[in-house]
């Protein structure tokens, strides 16, 4: 449900709408999202939503509003059985050729193989920052939470509140950081058997269709941005100041705490199977952010 919320120091009160920021929090799909394509591939079962992929189409949805800074979360139960060739995506993205984007892509598997999740970060239209890991549980047997946290200091990808990736603001080193474009929240299921499973060697077996991914507990706790407001104005509007404070700007959220840092190192050491930072064939010159990122493994 969207509501107007204002937080001020001391005895300040919310008297003028210009100082208010709309916040969205909800667990209902229809309050936050709407179908984007293939309406006939949506299946509603009480509080659950299922998206269907068959050999005619996949399906996708997007948020009704755009946001800047905060946290978005969704609970998923991924495609069971032989899901090779399929991709379920959960991501945030702005618009245009110079867009910013934060991606979760869940890559289908052959029966018995581990499910992989690939993350990527686009800044000003440039991606190629893929990291891939094998999940430490079977994501087809139960629901698990997948979240993106974003503020002016860091972007954090989380699985069941365990950080699996951090993209840090290193503008002081001349590296662009996504902080001036409001983003929508999206999810979809689609066929990508040209690359998704073992580099495209394993194709989608349509005899197992339809492939179903199940959703519940949609949460957006973020700064809602009017379409009519320019990017820089939204950034100012969604940032803490002397007159207002927002939870995502709390000092403790400017970096991972010690426990989270240990969790991230565990994920990278035990479950990561690909990191663009270590791919010398693609990047003979190591990307600049990789040289300075504290969580890089050598």
* Active-site residue list: 101, 105
H/E stretch holding 189: strand 184-191
Q: Which tokens belong to 213? A: 């991914």
DSSP assignment of 113-172: SPPEEEEEEEBTTB----EEEE-SS-TTTS-EEEEEEE-SSEEEEEETTEEEEEEE--GG
Cα separation, 160 vs 248, in Å, equals 19
Cα separation, 150 vs 127, in Å, equals 17
Fill in the DSSP letter of residue 209: P
Question: Cα–chain-centroid distance for residue 144?
Answer: 14
Backbone angles phi, psi at 230, to 5 degrees: -70, 160
Angle in degrees, CA 40, 212, 42, rounded to 5:
20
Residue with tokens 């969704």: 74
Q: Where are the alpha helices (DSSP H) in the chain?
A: 29-32, 231-237, 258-271, 288-292
248: helix, strand or coil: helix
Residue with tokens 């493994």: 297
DSSP assignment of 76-94: EEPPPS--TTEEEEEEEE-
Cα separation, 119 vs 149, in Å, equals 14
């Amino acid at each position: 449900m969207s509501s107007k919320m204002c937080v001020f120091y001391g005895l300040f009160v919310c008297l003028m709408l210009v100082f208010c920021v709309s916040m969205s929090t909800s667990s209902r799909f229809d309050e936050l999202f709407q179908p984007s394509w293939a309406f006939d591939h949506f299946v509603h079962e009480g509080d659950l939503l299922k998206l269907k992929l068959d050999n005619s189409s996949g399906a996708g949805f997007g948020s009704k509003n755009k946001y800047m800074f905060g946290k978005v979360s969704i609970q998923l139960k991924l495609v069971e059985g032989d899901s090779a060739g399929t991709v379920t995506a959960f991501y945030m993205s702005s618009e245009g050729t110079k867009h910013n984007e934060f991606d979760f892509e869940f890559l289908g598997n052959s029966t018995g193989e581990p499910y992989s999740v690939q993350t990527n970060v686009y800044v000003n239209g440039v991606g190629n920052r893929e990291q891939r890991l094998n999940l430490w549980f079977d994501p087809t047997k139960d629901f698990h939470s997948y979240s993106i946290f974003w503020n002016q200091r860091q972007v954090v990808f989380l699985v069941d509140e365990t950080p699996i990736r951090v993209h840090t603001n290193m503008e002081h080193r001349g590296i662009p950081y996504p902080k001036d474009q409001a983003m929508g929240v999206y999810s979809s299921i689609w066929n990508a058997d040209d690359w998704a499973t073992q580099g495209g060697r394993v194709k989608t077996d349509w005899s197992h269709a339809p492939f179903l991914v199940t959703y519940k507990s949609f949460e957006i706790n973020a700064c809602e941005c009017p379409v009519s407001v320019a990017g820089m104005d939204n950034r100012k509007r969604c940032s803490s100041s002397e007159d207002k404070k927002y939870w995502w700007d709390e000092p403790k959220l400017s970096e991972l705490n010690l426990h989270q840092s240990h969790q991230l190192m565990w994920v990278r050491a035990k479950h990561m199977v690909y990191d663009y930072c270590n791919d010398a064939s693609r990047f003979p010159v190591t990307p600049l952010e990789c040289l300075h990122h504290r969580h890089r493994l050598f």
